[in-house]
Every structure is written in C-alpha cells, then in structure tokens.
Chains A and B, each alone.
Chain A
Amino acid sequence: MKNPSRLPLLAALLAAACSVRAENLAVTGDTVYTMAGAPLKNGVVLIHDGKIEAAGSAAAVKIPAGYRVLHAAVVTPGLIDAHATVGLSGLLNQPQDQDMLEKSSPMQPDLRAIDAYNAKDELVTWVRSFGVTTVNTGHAPAALISGQTMIAKTFGRTADEDVINPAAMTSVTLGRNGLANDGSPGSAAKSPGTRSKAVAMLREELIKAQEYAKKREGKDEAKRPGRDLRYETLLRALDGTQPLLVTVNRQQDIISALRLAREFRLKIVLDGCADAQLVLAEIKASGFPVIIHPTMQRSYEDMENLSVETAGKLHAAGIPIALQSSYEGYVPKTRVVLLEAAVAAANGLGFEPALASITIDAAQMLGIAGRVGSLEKGKDADLALYDGDPFEYTSHCVGTLIEGQVFADGPR
C-alpha cells in the first residue's frame, strides 16, 4: 500500500460493500410467486442478512422501519438453470475462453468444473440480467464423459466464492454427440465411433472403478492401488453422492441409459430426451427426473424429433422435469432458461409448472431445495423482479437479488 491515506477510503468502501449484503430489504410485488403455496396478491418478502425473513401478503407481513422497499409487478424466486455451460463456454467462442470440452480422451470424469469456471464471463452477467441466480454448469454434453458440473450462484465474484456445490454431477453423453468420430471404418483411430462401443467403454470404466474400490479396501496396504481421480468420481456416481447427468436424445439412447442404470444400480438424471414422448412409460417407471432439452433447441441429428410440447407431456405424465440452457457451440452462445421456459409454458406446460421447472423443481432435482428455489423463511434471498408476466416476450426483468444483494443489470 503506497499511499496510506487511501486506507480509510478502502475501509469505507468495504463497509459499504458489506452493508449492501446486510441491507434490510422489503420486496413487494403485485403478484409474488413464492412457489410454496398459492401466488400472493400484494405480496411482501422481507430480507435480512441475505436470507428471507418472511414472505406473505401485505396484510400479514408488516414492513419494519428502516427496510428499503423495492417494488415490481411480479416477483419470483431467483431462477435456476438446471444444466448450463456458462462460465466454461465463454462469450467470445475463442480458444482462450472455451473450457467446456477437453478432447484428449473420451472419458475424463476427473475434470472438475470449479477449476475452469470463470465467474466473470459476460454470459454469467447476461443470464443474471434475466433473473437467473443459480446455475448447474460445467462440462459440455459433447463427449462420452466430458467432466463434472458444479452449482454456483451468479454473483460474478470468483468460482470459490460463488460455488454452492463444487461437484454436483458428472456429464455423460450417449448417442451422436458422445462419439469421438463418425463411426466409419476408416476413422476408427478414435473411439467411441459407434453407440455400442460407447456403452461398452462406459461399462468397462464403471467395472474398473468398482474393482478399484475393492482393491483400495484390500487388507494388504502395500498392494492397494494409488489414488485415481477418475475412479473416485465414478465411485461417487456409483454410491449416488454425485449422480451421472446422462444426456440422451434418441429413444434407443434413453433406453441404453436406463439399462446402464439398472446394471450398476445408478441414480441418474436424464438430460435432453428429445425422443422422450416415444418412451414415456419407461422413463416414468425408472423414477429418474428429466432435465429436458431447451424448448427452442434446433431439431437436427439426434434432436430431430424434439418438440416444444415434450416438457408439457412429461409433466402431465408425472415425471419430474427441469428446464435448461444446455450447451451451444455457436450462436446463441448461451440460451436463457427464462426464455426457454416461456415457450414451454405457452406450448402445453402451463405457467406455474413452467415457473416451477426453473425454480423449486430444479432446486429439488439439484438437491439444493433447502436453500433456494422458493421464497420461504430461512432460504437464501434470491429473487427475480419483472414488470409483467415474466414469460412474455415484451416483459422485462427489472432486478435480480442474490442473497439480498441487488443487481440492476437490466431492465432486460
């Protein structure tokens, strides 16, 4: 510190920054969707120390003196994007900001999202400006095992400060996007080149992980194998603590995923599922939740049969769903889960189930419903404020709150 006279200023700034976090706030909305009970007309959410102190109707919840009041037409919980690549798949789409896919090997479960997540990428700010406060983000669904995902708040500070689960899921992709080449005999240098080969490789790897676990517990300490980060990750998939996020779109790939889950008694999360309508009964019977493909995903190759109505049909069948922004290699570099949910809402899913799929239902699927996903006492003060129906094309997000900190990114 060259100039000591700056110290008091710095201290004051720090205090101000802290006070932003600790500020007592009352957010009032003409309609407040708490996602825990019926929507509130003239609702109030009280925020103290970054947490929700109370949420209820204006008649039931009095605003204490000294609370700063923010008002919006519609208030919802901060949105949750159940499967994203923001922070790894950067805005520029240049080699220096693309960390979502390592191509040196088809199976790399040891790759952690937290070692790549750029909390300050502009796309993180971009999705936050639409009300997204939590993302399950990480390695792209574009390799057999591309790596892990993490759950982070969209503060935009650092990965370590913003993370709420550093090892949420491990990304597995079956079908075309999980292949390393086009499968033609001449291109056999890189595997997997076919669907059969992909599943065979995955099974072999899971069996090796099981054998590794046995050897690690062997009586003779000298004969125990050294630590293997890849197998350690797969073992967390096998014991259910870090599920596999299995991206599958063709119906035969969905069925392969279910077969694999049965064989290894895996708890998995199905992802994509463009063909879900063809195997609805099988998905339902499995009990696994589905993070459905972005509603406006392009229909080509494995996603050829996707439909804007699939989310609604899965919901109607009683299958737990969440929506996602997924991964785009070109434009838009990220989708916005609010806009994807909007189109689902208008095409059979309906307003409240669509909102649930990007708030409380997504939170439950990600195992973070104790902290986020609804406006209830004791939960993080993550809120999204809109000047109208959040799903309408012409509405705006007019404010996003994360743990009581107000971000005025918009109006967007």
Chain B
Amino acid sequence: MRPRPLRQLALFTGLAVLVCAQEKPLAITGAQIIPIAGDPIAHGVLLVQHGRILAVGSADTVKIPAGADVLDATGRVLMPGLIDSHSHIGSGSGGDGSNPIQPDARVLDSLDVRDASIQKARAGGITAVNVMPGSGHLISGQTLYLKLREARTIDDLLIKLPDGSNAGGLKMANGTNSIKAAPFPGTRAKSAALVREEYIKAQEYRDKIRRANGDPEKMPPRDLALEELVEVLDGKRIVQNHTHRHDDILTVLRLSKEFGFKVVLHHVSEGWKVADEIAAAHVACSVIIIDSPGGKLETRDADWRTPAILEKAGVLVGFHTDDPICDSRRFLRTPALAVRAGMTRKGALEGVTIANAKIIGLENRIGSLEPGKDADFILLSGDPLSVYTHVEQTWVEGRKVFDLSRPQDHLYAAGGVGAGDSRRAQLCCFTSAWDLIAAANGASQ
C-alpha cells in the first residue's frame, strides 16, 4: 500500500505546479497605494503573479500584461498586509507549570488553525504574525512566524526558511509575570540568575558540539532545550522578550549583551524612561497601546507617547496586538493612537509593516510592496488611520483570504452568533492572556 499515497502526492504536487504555472498575472488598479517603500502613489497599479509582486507603481509606469486579470480598486487604499509581532491567536500554548525555563516547548504543537481568532486576524488585515506562548515563564517556548494563508492544518501557515526550518523566535519574559511560587523565581535578581545559568549551559553545550567537530562519538547527548538556546546564541532565532518596567528593560539589554543574542523588547510600558539606552543598544521595540494605564503595577506608568519617544530616540518601533489583549480586527487603531500621541504617520505605518518584518527577521520577504516580495496586501475603504475605515480585502501570497462583502467574512469582522470561539477551553493554558482576563474578571471566583 505504500506506493499509492506517494503516487497521489506526486499527482497532487504536479497539479499544484500546473495550477501555479497557469495562474495569470493579477493587476490591482486605481487604488491609492501606500507601498511603505517610497511615497504613496495616487492611482497606482500593483501587479502580482505566483504569489509574488511583479511590479508596483503609477498607472503610467506599470505595464499590465495582456491577459492579466484586473481588479479595479478605485477609491480604495492599498497597502502591505499588516504584520503583528506579538499575538496569541489560535489558542496556542507553551511551557507548563513544571519549570520556569522551557525552550523546548513549541507553540507549533498546540495551535488550532480553525480557531475563530485566526479568521478575525485576517479580517483585521493581518497577513503575517508572530504567535507566541504566554509570558508566565522566563522562557516559555518557541514562537512561530506565520502567514495567514487559507489553512487546514498548521503546516499551511508555516514560513519555511532556506534551511527548511520553520521561522520563529524564542519567547522570554521578565518582571512580575514569571515571578511566582517555586520552582519559579521569587525575585527579579533570581530571574536573571536562572536565565544566565541556562545560557551558560547552552554555551558549554555548543562548545562540546564544536569540539566534537562532527564526530558522533564525541557529540553530547541531544538536549532539545539547549539546542534551541544554541540557535539563539548563533543568531538563528530572535529572542522576543516581554518586559515592562524600565529596570527590567535594562536587564534584558544586559543579558543580551552578555550572551550576544539578538533581542526585541515587547510591550516596553516604561520604554519612554530609557529610550536612549534602548537606542544605544540598537535593540528594536514592539509596543502595545492599551486604552488606559495600569491594570498591574508594572504598567502604571505606561504612556501613549512611548512610540513617539522611542521613534525620536532612533529606535526601530513595531506594534503588536497581544491578541486577545487588543483585538486583531482593530490592529490599525494602535498606530493611529501612536500618531495621536506624537509619532510620525510614516513611523506608525512602518510599525505595522516593515518595522515588524525586521523585528521577525523577514524584511526581505514581507513588510513593503516591492518587486520580488510576497504579494501580501490589503484593500482599505479609506485612510488606514481613520476609525471610519474598514478592511475590505486581505490577500496573502496573491490569494484573497478575507473579503468583507462575503457574509461569513463580515460575520468575523463585526462579530455575532457564529463568530465566537465556543471550542476554547474556559481556562486553557498556563498563564495565557485569556487566563489572566478570565480570572481577573471574576468568572468562577
């Protein structure tokens, strides 16, 4: 029986190639294009084929090939698909309560791609997302950078790197979320000490591998946790670090410097207090804007001006939803509120596109509309930073994954019966954002 599925697979692959080969170019015309790479184009043309961008420019500079499909987007605004650099869509999980350091836990092994939150993210114009485990650990596990293609299984969403591995980062956290009863740390100093010990182990593990020089006899036994940290030490995996208070931010910078790993600071509620230090360390920030300060001690000084202050200091600033903390469907509200609090419009729009692409190390593929990049784009009814604007269509790699005019898609965009997540467990994961919300709101007191 073995050859048969293989034959089917071969047939399927052949068909897929055939379909792709026959795919006609698609020209989206008439829209105001915000390419992010370069100035807005009043009546632009975006030409895509085989999931990539062929050309982008004004109507008189982009020649539409004969036989191309044409989508008239007159009156719309077209911009790159949004990238969310920190989200929990798909009801995933990471490490459990057994240990504060679990780099071996993969969000890959937990995501429900049929969870409504994923379709809601598409409704918000999000085409790529960093899905993370929670912040209740010092190291809670491996994150995944996903493309929100139509999906039957998690494999349909993965971004493959040239070496065949799945694109993703490592989630770390400091401050109060990861401080709790043993075996978790009880203080900030202990938190840092535990992390340092682990990275020192990883350095020693890497040294053993190097000394073995390919000799299987001399290789250390496999250790999934240390293998991941070696990837971090080797710069193959970016640390995505939850951190709020200014001193916690400085601790992250200190550890990053000691071990030489690449890090992005997430949330950075007090980033405005140490903007120059962050800039000097050449570390990027992924910022969230919450409708009011507080909610926990670490965020009492959270300030809407943080993105503006960081931008002015020269820091690369991206934004995130931390969905379900902020709703993916209203992701564009975050850069808009950053502009309200003094950020430049250019910087704010980059914060949901190219800056976030850099934050997840995929700026060569996504984050702006340029020839050769993935055809990930959205059509908006108006100015991306206006409350009155709706995301009308979301396209990933040349395929439409959300269309507000389809009733089912409208349901996900607005909400209503059938748009919920009735399958989500009431208290699903270990210190997920949902747990914090549900527990804090007093359900099941």
A298 close to B294 (CB less than 8 A): no
Instruction: Pick from B297, B339, B387, B444: contact of A345, CB below 8 A.
Output: B387
CA distance A346 to B290 in the complex (A): 20
Q: Does B340 contact A (CB under 8 A)?
A: yes
Q: Does B3 contact A (CB under 8 A)?
A: no
Instruction: List residues of chain B with CB within 8 A of the CB of A396.
Output: 340
Instruction: List residues of chain A with CB within 8 A of the CB of B296.
Output: 92-93, 330-331
Q: Does A142 contact B (CB under 8 A)?
A: yes
A198 vs chain B, min Cβ distance (A) = 13
A309 close to B294 (CB less than 8 A): no
Q: Who on chain A is nearest to B302 by CB?
A: A331
Instruction: Pick from A179, A182, A332: contact of B291, CB below 8 A.
Output: A332
Q: Does B436 contact A (CB under 8 A)?
A: yes
Q: Does A335 contact B (CB under 8 A)?
A: yes
A142 close to B295 (CB less than 8 A): no
Instruction: List residues of chain A with CB within 8 A of the CB of B297.
Output: 92-94
Binds A, one of B144-152, B363-371, B410-418: B410-418
Total interface residues on B, using CB and 8 Å?
A: 47
Q: Known interface pairs A307-B415, A309-B416. Does A92 touch B445 (Cβ–Cβ under 8 Å)? A: no
Q: Does A211 contact B (CB under 8 A)?
A: no
CA distance A123 to B292 in the complex (A): 8
Q: Who on chain A is nearest to B340 by CB?
A: A394
User: Binary interface profile of A, 295-335, with partner B (CB < 8 Å = 1, else 0)?
Assistant: 01011110011111100000000000000000111111111
CA distance A347 to B404 in the complex (A): 13
**Interface size bracket, A side:** 35 or more
Instruction: List residues of chain B with CB within 8 A of the CB of A329.
Output: 437, 439-442
Instruction: Pick from A90, A92, A305: contact of B415, CB below 8 A.
Output: A305
B443 vs chain A, min Cβ distance (A) = 6
Instruction: List residues of chain A with CB within 8 A of the CB of B443.
Output: 142, 176-177, 179, 301
A327 close to B300 (CB less than 8 A): no
Instruction: Pick from A142, A343, A393: contact of B385, CB below 8 A.
Output: A393
Instruction: List residues of chain A with CB within 8 A of the CB of B290.
Output: 331-332
User: Binary interface profile of B, 355-393, with partner A (CB < 8 Å = 1, else 0)?
Assistant: 000000000000000000000000000000111111000
Q: Who on chain A is nearest to B444 by CB?
A: A182
Q: Known interface pairs A101-B442, A299-B419. Does A332 touch B414 (Cβ–Cβ under 8 Å)? A: no
Q: Which of A333, A346, A395 has the most CB of B within 10 A?
A: A333
A142 close to B386 (CB less than 8 A): no
B300 close to A91 (CB less than 8 A): yes
CA distance A301 to B294 in the complex (A): 24
Q: Who on chain B is nearest to A304 by CB?
A: B420
Q: Known interface pairs A298-B437, A305-B419, A307-B416. Does A91 touch B294 (Cβ–Cβ under 8 Å)? A: yes
A395 vs chain B, min Cβ distance (A) = 7
A330 close to B294 (CB less than 8 A): no
B94 vs chain A, min Cβ distance (A) = 19
Q: Who on chain A is nearest to B345 by CB?
A: A394
Q: Does A277 contact B (CB under 8 A)?
A: yes
Q: Does A355 contact B (CB under 8 A)?
A: no
Binds A, one of B57-65, B66-74, B131-139, B323-331: B323-331
Q: Known interface pairs A278-B417, A300-B424, A346-B388. Does A142 touch B292 (Cβ–Cβ under 8 Å)? A: no
Q: Known interface pairs A177-B443, A179-B444, A346-B387. Does A394 touch B339 (Cβ–Cβ under 8 Å)? A: yes
Instruction: List residues of chain B with CB within 8 A of the CB of A278.
Output: 417
CA distance A405 to B194 in the complex (A): 54
Q: Does B299 contact A (CB under 8 A)?
A: yes
A142 close to B441 (CB less than 8 A): yes
Q: Does B421 contact A (CB under 8 A)?
A: yes
Instruction: Pick from B295, B333, B416, B445: contact of A332, CB below 8 A.
Output: B295
B386 close to A393 (CB less than 8 A): yes
Q: Who on chain A is nearest to B325 by CB?
A: A331
Interface residues of A in 177-205 (CB under 8 A from B): 177, 179-182, 190
A21 vs chain B, min Cβ distance (A) = 28
Specify the main secondary structure of chain A where it touches its partner. loop
Q: Does B15 contact A (CB under 8 A)?
A: no
Instruction: List residues of chain A with CB within 8 A of the CB of B445.
Output: 103, 142, 180-181, 190
Instruction: Pick from B337, B415, B421: contact of A309, CB below 8 A.
Output: B415
Instruction: Pick from B295, B333, B422: contact of A330, CB below 8 A.
Output: B295
Q: Who on chain B is nearest to A294 by CB?
A: B291
Instruction: List residues of chain B with CB within 8 A of the CB of A298.
Output: 324, 327, 437
Q: Does A126 contact B (CB under 8 A)?
A: yes
B387 close to A342 (CB less than 8 A): yes
Q: Does A291 contact B (CB under 8 A)?
A: no
Q: Which of B293, B325, B385, B389 has the most CB of A within 10 A?
A: B293
Instruction: List residues of chain A with CB within 8 A of the CB of B440.
Output: 93, 328-330
CA distance A328 to B293 in the complex (A): 12
Q: Known interface pairs A94-B297, A300-B424, A307-B415. Does A330 touch B436 (Cβ–Cβ under 8 Å)? A: yes
User: Binary interface profile of A, 132-143, with partner B (CB < 8 Å = 1, else 0)?
Assistant: 000000001011
Q: Does A122 contact B (CB under 8 A)?
A: yes
A301 close to B426 (CB less than 8 A): yes
A106 vs chain B, min Cβ distance (A) = 9
CA distance A126 to B420 in the complex (A): 31
Q: Does A392 contact B (CB under 8 A)?
A: yes
CA distance A177 to B445 in the complex (A): 9
CA distance A395 to B414 in the complex (A): 24
Instruction: Pick from B388, B418, B438: contact of A301, CB below 8 A.
Output: B438
CA distance A301 to B444 in the complex (A): 12
Q: Does A339 contact B (CB under 8 A)?
A: yes
Instruction: List residues of chain A with CB within 8 A of the CB of B388.
Output: 345-346, 392
B420 close to A328 (CB less than 8 A): no
User: Binary interface profile of A, 153-188, with partner B (CB < 8 Å = 1, else 0)?
Assistant: 000000000000000000000001101111000000
Instruction: List residues of chain B with CB within 8 A of the CB of A308.
Output: 414-415
B417 close to A122 (CB less than 8 A): no
Q: Does B41 contact A (CB under 8 A)?
A: no
Chain A interface (Cβ < 8 Å from any Cβ of B): 90-94, 101, 103, 122-123, 126-127, 140, 142-143, 176-177, 179-182, 190, 275, 277-278, 296, 298-301, 304-309, 327-336, 339, 342-343, 345-347, 391-396
Chain B interface (Cβ < 8 Å from any Cβ of A): 290-297, 299-300, 324-325, 327, 330, 333, 336-337, 339-340, 385-390, 414-422, 424, 426, 434, 436-445
Nearest 7 A/B pairs, CB to CB: A329-B440, A304-B420, A91-B294, A393-B336, A331-B295, A142-B442, A307-B415
Q: What would 17 A/B residue contacts be, using CB atoms closer than 8 Å?
A: A91-B293, A92-B297, A93-B294, A93-B295, A123-B294, A127-B292, A143-B442, A177-B441, A298-B324, A299-B420, A300-B424, A300-B438, A304-B422, A329-B440, A330-B296, A330-B436, A394-B385
Known: A327-B441, A331-B299. 18 other contacts (CB 8 A): A91-B292, A91-B294, A123-B294, A140-B442, A142-B443, A180-B445, A190-B445, A299-B421, A304-B422, A305-B418, A329-B441, A332-B290, A332-B292, A333-B293, A333-B295, A394-B339, A394-B385, A396-B340
